[in-house]
Structure 1
Amino acid sequence: MTHKTVHAYAAPAPKAPLERTTITRRELGAHDILIDIKYAGICHSDLHTVRGEWGHETFPIVPGHEIAGVVSEVGSGVTRYAPGDRVGVGCFVDSCRECDNCRAGLQQHCTGELGSVGTYAATGRDGEFTQGGYSTHLVVDENYALSIPESLPLDAAAPLLCAGITLYSPLARWQAGPGKKVAVVGLGGLGHMGVKLAHAMGAEVTVLSQSLRKKDDGLRLGADHYHATSDPATFEALAGTFDLILNTVSADLDLDAYIGLLKTGGTLVQLGAPENKLAVSPFALVQGRKSFSGSMIGGLPETQEMLDFCAEHGIVSDIELIRADRINEAYERVLASDVRYRFVIDAATI
């Protein structure tokens, strides 16, 4: 394949509405695959990036790192995939492959000179600026694509490539399962996946949300309990309850209050990425030997493990499928928390 011009939706400047355009995908290398993108999820990270909230970016930017599609062409040296295979691409498309983290399957934490190369708004090893999944096609190294099991519908599987793995990774690391009490802060695109996954792992699951507005949804998704954090009585009643709390919201919370909900030796894991610095009192941690940690996506092996787990348990994201010309409207609704629970773009409409 020669360089391929494809249609996409891009942000031309910070905070500017996304608009339809064309971009060029690289020529197929020996180990590259060409993906005919079928669906792309809309992640809050996309909004942060195109709004310039995470620092200086090079525009125009084609966002999208929750990508599901079908292989349409393969390079001469490809062994992992063949045309017709169902594949996904998540938050990164390359890494150095040689550092300790890459060798351990933790490519998201690559410490090599190349670093973990984001699916969009990053510089690849060829020096070119990466463009993401709000487009019709993507060229990616075969080693950075994941296999999507046949039992998972591609549209609802797309958000698993970011939202799914972002919640699966800490649940697996802190061994959520029978006998463990897990709380999920926020019932949005991330939070609803946390409830489904923790429930499937066998944990006792509690949702901590600002209000009880989504209580019926939370219980339907697998939560055992649902509490409003706007009610001070919640923090009194649940003090010392949880083994693990996953904070999925990108807001400035009183973290000491949430740490107070942990059992002795419990862990609060930060997943949301608010603009401002987070403050934690050392006394909140030292009294009860509690931990405040962070987590992001997973490496390639763990992401494949997550997809296989989801297939085994029939887990996908709850989605609202939209046409590409509704992306800007969807962004406004994400900002207003008006989506249950992930927008997914039908790439056929790009």
Structure 2
Amino acid sequence: MKVLAYAAHEAGAELLPYEYDAGPLGRLEVDVRVTHCGVCHTDLGMIDDEFGYASFPVVAGHEAVGVVEAVGDDVDPDALPIGSRVGIGAIAGSCFGCEWCLRGRHQFCPQRDDTVLRGHRGAFAQHVRASDWRHAYRIPDALSSAEAAPLLCAGTTVFGQLLRYDVRPTDRVAIVGVGGLGHVAIQFYAAWGCTVTAISSSRSKEDDARGFGAAAVIASSENGALDAHRGEFDFILSTVSADLPWDDYLGLLAPGGTLCLVGVPQKPFTVGPMALLPQAKALVGGVPGSVDDTRRMLAFAAAHDVRPVIETFPVADSGAALDRVRTGSARYRAVLEM
């Protein structure tokens, strides 16, 4: 099958039409005609070669929603019928046979298929292929395709940590950053039952944060703002790419609390041992959720009215969408209409 995609041919370049041959459909594979695709910072990381390993031409995109057009011979037709509306996210396949897949942790599979790292086979295209149909998720009727798209990475990333680290409805949770990830996280954790505090550098997004479900807002740039909340939180989710004073954020945790990073800091960081050890605090990293995590996330979002706030752009105007994400000015997620 010939696929029309939109590729950057060098670092930082605009997206131009690009065609490639997807080859024959494998027995477990599924082809999806893309209608919408979210724009994540990781997509920009590949387009701009921020990580230093992009191979051009790059077709980015890993938050795709569309319609099933073809399935391999071994795909269960009842689970994934032709014409069904599905999403393909950050992980488009795993082996389902390794230690990690058998534990239900497909995101750790050494053979996983990372959609955005494929080079020229990402989801900024008219079609995208999942290498295993079980990584194509039926989209609940209550979610529009445009709203569902960012949930395939941002949603499963923040919701997956809630499950993995056993966040309880009675927990006091802080979400650092009211942005593309953070505004979704506030909604999920508040709907879960947690008392949520948003931490932002200023109060410019305070009204939005409270509208998303935050019970309180801390402006970290204000004098003594963090010190006033020492020992307050059971779980902190950092969604920002900034280099933060990590000891101060560990200081916000109650004994036994966890600071989880899903945003990617720009530089290596250090923490003082006395900020971590005496009260048995944990500093952990987070990745997108498993197959089951993602299915549960979509169902929970549909049932509890969790919706990303989006700006939509036709694919012909992809440059404007990318610029909104580059400058951090999108409110709050950009979505391409294919």
Q: TM-score by structure 1 length? A: 0.92
Indicate which of 150, 174, 197 corresponds to 1:206: 197
RMSD value, Cα: 1.4
Report what 2:116 is aligned to.
120
- Stretch deviating more after TM superposition (230-239 or 247-256): 230-239
Per-residue CA distance 1:86-142 (angstroms, 9 max, x = gap): 11111122223322111112111113xxx22211323xxxxxx56111111122231
- Stretch deviating more after TM superposition (6-15 or 246-255): 6-15
Report what 1:179 is aligned to.
170
- Extract structure 1 runs of 4+ deviating beyond 3 A: none
Distance 2:315 2:327 in 1: 19
Within a 5 Å distance, the mapping from 1:230-309 to structure 2 comes to 230-309=221-300
Per-residue CA distance 1:47-76 (angstroms, 9 max, x = gap): 112111212221111111101111122233
Once the two structures are TM-superposed, the CA of residue 143 in structure 1 deviates from its matched residue by 2.0
Distance 1:146 1:276 in 2: 35
The yes-or-no answer on 1:56 pairing with 2:46 is: no
- Stretch deviating more after TM superposition (9-18 or 59-68): 9-18
Task: Report the secondary structure of 2:299's partner residue.
Answer: helix
Once the two structures are TM-superposed, the CA of residue 269 in structure 1 deviates from its matched residue by 0.3
Q: TM-score by structure 2 length? A: 0.95
Report what 1:139 is aligned to.
129
Report what 2:89 is aligned to.
90
The yes-or-no answer on 1:331 pairing with 2:322 is: yes
Distance 2:73 2:278 in 1: 59
The yes-or-no answer on 1:102 pairing with 2:101 is: yes
For residue 211 of structure 2, what is the amino acid of its counterpart?
A: R
Task: Report the secondary structure of 1:162's partner residue.
Answer: helix
Task: Report the secondary structure of 1:216's partner residue.
Answer: helix
Contact 1:177–1:198, Cα closer than 8 Å, also in 2: no
Q: Could you list the runs of 5+ residues in structure 1 that have no partner in the other structure?
A: 123-128
Report what 2:31 is aligned to.
34
Contact 2:7–2:120, Cα closer than 8 Å, also in 1: no
Distance 2:253 2:199 in 1: 13
Distance 1:83 1:325 in 2: 28
Task: Report the secondary structure of 2:330's partner residue.
Answer: coil
Report what 2:3 is aligned to.
6
For residue 272 of structure 1, what is the amino acid of its counterpart?
A: G
Distance 2:136 2:307 in 1: 18
Q: Could you list the runs of 5+ residues in structure 2 that have no partner in the other structure?
A: none
Once the two structures are TM-superposed, the CA of residue 293 in structure 1 deviates from its matched residue by 0.6
Task: Report the secondary structure of 2:159's partner residue.
Answer: helix
Distance 1:29 1:186 in 2: 41
For residue 117 of structure 1, what is the amino acid of its counterpart?
A: D
Distance 1:117 1:95 in 2: 6
For residue 163 of structure 1, what is the amino acid of its counterpart?
A: A
Task: Report the secondary structure of 1:232's partner residue.
Answer: coil
Indicate which of 51, 63, 75 corresponds to 1:66: 63
Distance 2:167 2:290 in 1: 19
Report what 1:226 is aligned to.
217
Corresponding pairs, count:
335
Give percent identity, aligned residues only: 38
Task: Report the secondary structure of 1:265's partner residue.
Answer: strand
Task: Report the secondary structure of 1:245's partner residue.
Answer: strand
